[in-house]
Amino acid sequence: MVLTVIERNGDGTPTAESAEVLAAARDLAEQLGEPVAAVAVGDAGDLPDDLAKRGVAQLHLLQHELLAEGSPSCAGEALAQLVAAQRPAAVLAPGTDRSTEAMAWAAAELGVPLATACTEIRPGEPWEVTRERSGGILLEDAALDAPIRLATLRPGAPAPSETAAAHEVTVHVVVPDLDTSVPRARLVDRQPRAAGMTLTTAPVVVAGGRGVGSAEGYAVLEELAGLVGGAVGCSRVATNNGWRPHADQVGLTGTRISPELYVACGISGATQHWVGCMNARSILAVNTDPEAPMVTRATWAVIGDVHEVLPAVITEIRRRSGR
Ligand SMILES: Cc1cc2nc3c(=O)[nH]c(=O)nc-3n(C[C@H](O)[C@H](O)[C@H](O)COP(=O)(O)OP(=O)(O)OC[C@H]3O[C@@H](n4cnc5c(N)ncnc54)[C@H](O)[C@@H]3O)c2cc1C
C-alpha cells in the first residue's frame, strides 16, 4: 500500500498540493503493484467520491478532538499509529510546512528516516530519491533505506496525470490514542489572507530589508508598489524587527515568488533570501553597497540610499503618468 496524506481545503476537498501527491502516489503504487490509500483528518463529506476519481482504494479518517487544534505533533502521532498498524510500503505527503512537520513527528515516533522535498522517488534496492536542498538551489540524490519509506514531495513537482478510473473507496474511521500531553502547539486564531494582490500573484514586488531602517520607512515602498500595481515584500530582518508581518517575507522561511519584476531595496541578497526571489524575471536592486550579492546578481542596480532613490523614482513615475 502507498499511503497518501491529504490536506483539505475549507470545503473538505484535497488541496492542490495533495492532488499532486495523489498523482505521484498512483504512479508509485503502479510500479510497486500496490493499492493507493489515503489518510485525512475529520469527517468524510464528499472526500470518498473525490478520491474515487483519483485511484484511491481506502480512506482512513483520523478523528479526535485534539486533531482539530492543528497541532503537528498530534497529527504526527496519529499518523504514526496508523502507519504502525497498516505497514504501508511508503507514506507520501505534501511538502508543506504543516505536513512536513507532522511527517517528522511520525518518522521520529516510528524510528524511520524521512526524505523531505522530494522531486522524484525511484523504488529499488534500496529506494532512491531526488530531493531539493538549501531552498531549491541544489538537488540531492539519496538512498532511502527503511522498511517503510516516508517522503514529502516538493509542491509543484509532479504534474498530476489524468484522472484514474473510479474505484470503490472503503472508508475506515480511526480514533487515535492521543492525550493532552501530545500537542506542543495549539491553533488559537485563523487570519484569512487579505483579498486582492498577494506576494505570489503580484507582477511586481517591491521588497525592503534592513536598509529601509524602520517600519515607517516602508511607506515609500507601499507608495511605489501602489503606483506600479505591485505588492510589498521584505527580508527576514524586517520581520524579525517587527517592521513587517511574516506573510510579507520572501525567502527560504518565507514565500518563494516569481514576479515579472522584483525591486530589492536595502536587501543584501543572502542565500536564504535569494532562493525566494531568484525566479523573478528581472531584478532591480537599490543598495548603497555596489558589492552586495543582490547588486551583483541583479538585472539592474541603482547604487544609492533607498530613501533618496525611491522618492525620485516615484516623482518620475507620477510626472510621466500625469498622476
Ligand atoms: C535558516 C535561515 C532561514 C532564513 N530565511 C530567510 C528568509 O526566508 N528570508 C530572508 O530574507 N532571510 C532569511 N534568513 C536571513 C538571511 O540569512 C539574512 O540574514 C537576511 O536575508 C538579511 O536581510 P537584509 O538583506 O535585509 O539585511 P542585511 O544583510 O543586513 O543587508 C542590508 C543591506 O541594506 C543595504 N543598505 C543599508 N542601508 C541602506 C540604505 N539606506 N539604502 C540602500 N541600501 C542600504 C546594505 O548595503 C546591505 O546590503 C534566514 C537565515 C537562516 C539562518
Report the Cα 76 to chain-centroid distance in Å: 18
Q: Render the burial of 101-116: b for 16+ CB within 10 Å, e for the rest.
A: bbbbbbbebbebebbb
Spatial CA neighbour of 5 closest among 112, 108, 111, 116? 116
**Residue reference for cell 482512513:** 60
Query: In sequence order, what are the beta bridge partners of 233?
Result: 207
Does position 234 have pLDDT exceeding 90, yes or no?
yes
Instruction: Tell me the C-alpha to C-alpha distance, in Å, between residue 204 and each of 192, 241, 283, 284, 299.
Output: 22, 24, 10, 11, 14
Q: How many CB atoms lie within 10 A of CB 169?
A: 21
169 lies in the same domain as 57? yes
**Average confidence (pLDDT) over 19-36:** 95
Give the pLDDT of residue 186: 79
134 lies in the same domain as 219? no
Give the pLDDT of residue 194: 63
Confidence of residue 166 (pLDDT cuts 50, 70, 90): low
Q: Is the dihedral of CA 46, 49, 51, 53 positive or negative?
A: negative
Does position 169 have pLDDT exceeding 60, yes or no?
yes
Say how many Å lie between the CA of residue 320 and the centre of ligand 1.
Answer: 32
252 lies in the same domain as 154? no
Say how many Å lie between the CA of residue 187 and the centre of ligand 1.
Answer: 30
112 lies in the same domain as 227? no
Say how many Å lie between the CA of residue 236 and the centre of ligand 1.
Answer: 7
End position of a domain, from candidates 131, 156, 174: 174
Give the pLDDT of residue 190: 76
User: Does the bond joining 155 to the residue before it have cis omega, within 30 degrees of 0?
Assistant: no
- Residues at CB less than 6 angstroms from ligand 1: 209-211, 235-237, 249-254, 266-268, 270, 272-273, 276, 286-289, 292, 305-306
**Average confidence (pLDDT) over 185-190:** 80
Does position 307 have pLDDT exceeding 80, yes or no?
yes
The helix (run of H) or strand (run of E) holding residue 83 is helix 72-86
41 lies in the same domain as 169? yes
Give the pLDDT of residue 178: 93
31 lies in the same domain as 140? yes
75 lies in the same domain as 19? yes
Instruction: Tell me the C-alpha to C-alpha distance, in Å, between residue 83 and each of 92, 105, 108, 220, 235.
Output: 12, 12, 12, 53, 39
Number of domains in the chain: 2
C-alpha cell of 156?
A: 509543484
**Residue reference for cell 520581520:** 239
Whichever domain contains 232, its CATH number is 3.40.50.1220
Spatial CA neighbour of 90 closest among 9, 14, 8, 147? 147
pTM: 0.74
End position of a domain, from candidates 155, 174, 193: 174
55 lies in the same domain as 143? yes
Confidence of residue 81 (pLDDT cuts 50, 70, 90): very high
Contact between 18 and 47 under an 8 Å Cβ cutoff? The reply is: no
- Tell whether 53 is covered by a domain: yes
**pLDDT tens across 86-100, in order?**
999 999 999 998 999
155 lies in the same domain as 217? no
End position of a domain, from candidates 174, 193, 216: 174
- Tell whether 186 is covered by a domain: no
308 lies in the same domain as 162? no
Spatial CA neighbour of 224 closest among 207, 246, 241? 207
Confidence of residue 85 (pLDDT cuts 50, 70, 90): very high
Does position 146 have pLDDT exceeding 80, yes or no?
yes
Nearest Cα residue to atom 27 of ligand 1: 210
Range of the domain at 18: 2-174
